[in-house]
């Protein structure tokens, strides 16, 4: 059979959770699952078996199964006996998973296929499907509660349409084009007023040592520095030559 999704109608899920939460120990039963052509399956009915419960184990009771079949016969529902293909049980407060005992119970099932669900008090739920056609295979299957399958679904759907509206957002305004960010260096206001000799003196000062300057050059440099104290202004980075940048970094 094709692997798909196991759907649980809301009312069936409520029944399943009611059994699970209201029994402190592990509890279980059987059920009927219908299968669509696309492989999706839906739980149609649950049966709670007569059983003696234990805190950490739940197996299919032969006596409980026999009593269920007798009840179905006596109530004119004998055809459902051949349709039973679901085994469900709880793990109480433990994690929802398939134990070694659970896997053995599935292996001992005599039908061609079996859906199995494990659920706990926290409403965690896992499901598997076992099939013997064409060979014995057990695999995980997604399980989804169909919350739209409730008597009030139509009225609630209309209420949603009436009261819930999607907020429409106006397109975001375009940001103004950002101006090119420039890096500025602080330089003396009279920087560009130096003549060629003064420029050469700056280069000599920056690339050499103060001890390489003559007394006249040193005095000239002091005059230039004194003139710079008058103030600074900012000029763009791209307007400064590399040696000038070095001079600024070194000097200031």
Q: What b/e string do you get for 119-155 counting C-beta neighbours within 10 Å, with b at 16 or more? A: bbbeeebbbbbbbeeeeeeeeebebebbeeeeeeeee
Specify the higher pLDDT residue, 55 or 126.
126
H/E element, 12:
helix 10-21
Query: pLDDT class for 132, splitting at 50, 70, 90?
Result: confident
Report pLDDT digits (tens) over 200-230: 766 666 655 556 667 777 777 777 666 655 5
% of the chain surpassing 90 pLDDT? 37
What are the structure tokens assigned to 23, written together?
């029994």
Query: pLDDT class for 120, splitting at 50, 70, 90?
Result: very high
Give the pTM: 0.61
Three-class DSSP labels, 47-66: EECCCCCCCCCCCCCHHHHH
Q: What is the mean pLDDT of the chain?
A: 79
What is d(CA 192, CA 7) in angstroms, rounded to the nearest whole number? Answer: 83
β-bridge mates for residue 47, sequence order: 30
- Of 196, 198, 191, 200, residue with least CA distance to 248: 191
Q: Is 38 helix (H, G, I), strand (E, B) or coil?
A: coil
Has residue 234 got a pLDDT over 60? no
Helices and strands (H, E) in the chain, number of each type: 7, 10
**In which residue are the tokens 């005059």 written?**
223
pLDDT of residue 166: 74
What is d(CA 206, CA 54) in angstroms, rounded to the nearest whole number? Answer: 92
What is d(CA 36, CA 42) in angstroms, rounded to the nearest whole number? Answer: 8
Query: pLDDT class for 163, splitting at 50, 70, 90?
Result: confident
Least confident of 96-105, 149-158, 180-189, 235-244: 180-189
| Domains delineated in the chain | 5-150 (3.40.140.10), 184-251 (no CATH)
β-bridge mates for residue 8, sequence order: 145
159 alpha carbon, distance to own chain's centre: 30
Torsion angle in degrees (nearest 10) through CA of 101, 107, 111, 112: 140
pLDDT of residue 191: 47
């Amino acid at each position: 059979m094709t692997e798909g999704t196991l759907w649980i109608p809301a009312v069936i899920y409520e029944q399943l959770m009611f059994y699970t939460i209201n029994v402190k120990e592990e509890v279980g039963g059987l059920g009927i699952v219908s299968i669509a052509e696309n492989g999706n399956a839906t739980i149609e009915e649950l049966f709670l078996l007569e059983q003696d419960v234990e805190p950490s184990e739940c197996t299919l009771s032969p006596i409980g199964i026999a009593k269920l079949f007798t009840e179905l016969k006596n109530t004119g529902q004998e055809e459902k006996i051949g349709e039973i293909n679901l085994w469900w049980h709880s793990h109480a407060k433990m994690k929802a998973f398939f134990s070694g005992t659970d896997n053995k119970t599935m292996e001992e099932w005599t039908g061609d296929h079996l859906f199995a669900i494990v659920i706990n008090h926290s409403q965690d739920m896992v499901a598997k499907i076992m099939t013997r056609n064409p060979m014995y295979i057990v695999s995980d299957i997604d399980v989804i509660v169909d919350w739209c399958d409730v008597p009030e679904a139509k009225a609630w759907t209309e209420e949603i349409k009436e009261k819930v509206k999607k907020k429409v957002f106006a397109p975001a305004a375009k940001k103004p084009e950002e101006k090119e960010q420039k890096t500025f260096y602080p330089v003396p206001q009279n920087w560009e007023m130096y003549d060629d000799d003064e420029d050469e003196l700056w280069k000599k000062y920056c690339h050499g040592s103060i001890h390489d300057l003559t007394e006249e050059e040193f005095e000239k440099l002091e005059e230039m520095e004194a003139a710079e104290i008058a103030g600074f202004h900012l000029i763009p980075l791209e307007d400064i030559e590399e040696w000038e940048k070095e001079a600024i970094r070194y000097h200031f």
